[in-house]
Structure 1
């Protein structure tokens, strides 16, 4: 899919991967709407970046997502690409009885439910386009879980499975013009995710600029999955285990 003159929605667009995507895609000739919980951060990004506008959204809240969709359609009329990069990552000890269910569920609500909410609300307009795309950001931890980050691993495994299922449903419906891409990074340097975790417990990361370049290459080739950086190696490690398990 050619990335030029496209109308693109990016969640989590005020920091990290989302912001990097927004800046890069705007710079190469696309119109971008970013979504974020922080109105102040949106204002800051829009102020210093041409071709980027933004609206507040809490992806875990269905009403907020529907409002965000209406704002995006009012501004763009049509949408070509949706990038789900909103996400949070926390380090929880499941044996610690002080950790509340609400805290544990927060990553599921933002990372998994948020992705589902955005995809479900934007899918009808994307299906009407001649060619369109959804990019869901999962993680290398979707395939090789981290004991230090149990809920993040679980949420991203859910994103991986949901993305596969959505792609298959569109295929069986004869709607392959809606490309469904899974972007699989390890941790990305300079993001809010990395700031929230102990570096000794994290997989080797990748600079966001390298990730975005790999992602754009995959998008332009209509890849169904883009494994970036160490995520490639993590998948190679897991694949033999999966094959052996299925064989049993």
Structure 2
């Protein structure tokens, strides 16, 4: 992915990592369209950031994905980058089904079906562009599980393997598949997570991500230094120790 000159659609970018990345890409000379569920947030983003475009989309709703994708492609036919940022994280206790089933279904709907629906809506259009990118967003927890978030871990592992598979299938097209793999970053993904001193500061994460995109335009995975502890535990042979470390054992 080139760092500039793109038209980028980022659903799930009204706060946190998504919004920060959207604004950073805008500063690098890209046209950026931010998508989200809450109209008032979209209006606030547009007012505070002239030049950032917005569209309402709920990636958990197939009809909303279809309508929003048609709107984006009609208004911005030069879209050549899709970043499937929308995601949720829930703390779950799997000892009792009544305490986790509804949560797990919501996580899978948003984190797995959402990106699948988005890619389905844009993949034909992207193949018609001379240079296009689908950026998926997994997590360090796709490779090392956090005990309290089973569905989130599983959903991000699914995104990793989906990314690997799509990269193979789309190798004969103009579409690159890039997987962004965040570590724990200070955001609102979980209550109180924004104040978590063990998590990476958001501005540092975005700065490093943008630098990696710029210096490694052909990268298949965008990995800030901090995520490699989680990403490569099994390859290093210290997987059990990494699992124990992030779960406080």
Measured after TM superposition, the shift of residue 100 of structure 1 is 5.0
Q: Does the 8 Å CA contact 1:183/1:226 hold for their aligned counterparts?
A: yes
Measured after TM superposition, the shift of residue 24 of structure 1 is 0.8
Runs of 4+ aligned structure 1 residues displaced above 3 Å come to: 196-199, 240-243
Alignment pair present for 1:183 and 2:180: yes
Count of matched residue positions in the alignment of Structure 1 and Structure 2: 237
Match of 1:67 in 2: 67
Measured after TM superposition, the shift of residue 38 of structure 1 is 0.7
Change (3 A) 1:180 1:208: same
Match of 1:123 in 2: 123
Measured after TM superposition, the shift of residue 41 of structure 1 is 0.7
Change (3 A) 1:219 1:138: same
Match of 2:232 in 1: 236
The 5-angstrom pairing of residues 20-35 of structure 1 reads 20-35=20-35
What are structure 2's unaligned runs of at least 5 residues? 240-249
Change (3 A) 1:203 1:182: farther
| Aligned counterparts of 2:150 and 2:16: Cα–Cα separation in 1 | 22
3-state secondary structure, aligned to 1:135: strand
Q: TM-score, normalised by structure 2?
A: 0.88
Q: TM-score, normalised by structure 1?
A: 0.89
Match of 1:214 in 2: 208
What are structure 1's unaligned runs of at least 5 residues? 244-248
Change (3 A) 1:197 1:152: farther
Match of 2:156 in 1: 156
C-alpha RMSD over aligned residues: 2.1
Deviation digits for residues 158-216 of structure 1, max 9, x if unmatched?
Answer: 01010110001112xx12x2111001011211x121436698xx894212222222322
Measured after TM superposition, the shift of residue 119 of structure 1 is 1.1
